[in-house]
Amino acid sequence: MSAIVSINNLHKSFGTNKVLNGVSLDVQKGQMVAIIGRSGSGKSTLLRCLNGLERIDSGDINVCGHDIHHPDKLNLRELRKQVGIVFQSYNLFPHVTVERNITLALTTIKKMATAEAKKIAHNVLTLVGLEAKKEAYPEQLSGGQAQRVAIARSLAMAPELMLFDEVTSALDPELTGEVLKVMEDLSKQGMTMVLVTHEMAFARKLADVLVFMHQGKVWEMGPPDELFTNPKTAELAKFVSSEL
Ligand SMILES: Nc1ncnc2c1ncn2[C@@H]1O[C@H](COP(=O)(O)OP(=O)(O)O)[C@@H](O)[C@H]1O
Ligand SMILES: [Mg+2]
């Protein structure tokens, strides 16, 4: 196995607020790593550090061959082509079609010909089950469909790593399932992914590694079943019982 993400002793503060307090974590190619933990434990900040959205204070992070701790040498544009990130709010461009939402970055950032970009849009929309919606505008989509388009848009860039930050948290329960299904399919096709989630059943069933964050640290980490059935710390035990 080879590590796509390698984090060593990462520290990050906002002013006097120590948000990440010595995080070390590796993600191997093809793995699904799920991060759980209470609000404010640093989960989103950790994800944002992985694609250069936050400047780190100290520590080493290597993502897809890029050293994130050397901001001067870091090629952010290359990094972000290789690392897709999807958030809770899907931020589709409201004034263009679903298809154009997807082709936009391909024709501008990747300088791809329109025909080729459309082919990719077709492929990724098929993957998330929304090829029929390519002419639709974002406001005509349900929240679940919009989130699937956001995922498709990210996939169109052919990332090596996908980051998902609570992508189902804003969705009604009946729409959550369709988004989780897309993530499950992606994982089964071999995509490496790190996700922050409240979907405990999903994380337990599908994650290769479960990470419990607490106070800016990896408090516990291991096979999901083990963490759920046999938490070693009082903090995880409490968290697990509160999520049931
Ligand atoms: N851009 C920011 N500026 C200042 N403080 C921030 C910023 N982003 C996050 N924080 C703080 O960092 C802490 C961890 O936040 P976050 O990483 O969002 O946690 P989680 O995703 O686990 O809820 C919180 O105390 C939050 O207020
Ligand atoms: Mg968060």
Q: Could you tell me the distance, in angstroms and rounded to a whole number, from the CA of residue 46 to the centre of ligand 2? A: 9
Q: Could you tell me the distance, in angstroms and rounded to a whole number, from the CA of residue 16 to the centre of ligand 2? A: 19
Query: What pLDDT, on a 0 to 100 scale, did the predictor assign at position 166?
Result: 96
Ligand nearest to the CA of 164: 2
The two three-digit tokens of residue 72, written as one number: 């001067």
Spatial CB neighbours of 108, under 8 Å, sequence gap ≥ 6 = none
Query: 14 in ligand 1 pocket by Cβ < 6 Å?
Result: yes
> pLDDT (tens digit, 9 = 90+) per residue, 38-86?
999 999 999 999 998 999 999 999 999 999 887 677 788 889 889 999 9
Q: Whose CA is nearest to atom 13 of ligand 1?
A: 40
> pLDDT (tens digit, 9 = 90+) per residue, 179-198?
999 999 999 999 999 999 99
Looking up tokens 């701790």 gives 69
Cα distance between residue 203 and residue 34, in whole Å: 6
**One-letter amino acid for residue 207 of the chain:** A
CB atoms within 10 A of CB 117: 22
Q: Using most ligand atoms within 8 A of CB, pick from 35, 36, 44, 198 the residue to mutate for ligand 1.
A: 44
Q: Using most ligand atoms within 8 A of CB, pick from 20, 45, 194 the residue to mutate for ligand 1.
A: 45
Q: Whose CA is nearest to atom 25 of ligand 1?
A: 40
Q: Whose CA is nearest to atom 1 of ligand 1?
A: 14
User: What are the domain boundaries of the chain?
Assistant: 3-243
Query: 40 in ligand 1 pocket by Cβ < 6 Å?
Result: yes
**One-letter amino acid for residue 75 of the chain:** N
Cα distance between residue 116 and residue 204, in whole Å: 38
DSSP structure class, residue 135:
T
Query: 197 in ligand 1 pocket by Cβ < 6 Å?
Result: no
Looking up tokens 């922050």 gives 196
Ligand nearest to the CA of 239: 1
Contact 2, 29 (CB under 8 A): yes
Q: DSSP assignment of 174-234, as one string?
A: HHHHHHHHHHHHHHHTT-EEEEE-S-HHHHHHH-SEEEEEETTEEEEEE-HHHHHHS-SSH
Q: Nearest 5°: phi and psi at 178?
A: -70, -30
Q: Whose CA is nearest to atom 7 of ligand 1?
A: 14
Contact 98, 125 (CB under 8 A): yes
Residues of the chain with pLDDT under 70: 1, 71
Cα distance between residue 94 and residue 74, in whole Å: 32
Q: Whose CA is nearest to atom 8 of ligand 1?
A: 45
Query: What pLDDT, on a 0 to 100 scale, did the predictor assign at position 78?
Result: 87
* CA dihedral of 58, 86, 241, 174, whole degrees rounded to 10: 180
CATH fold label, 3-243: Rossmann fold (3.40.50)
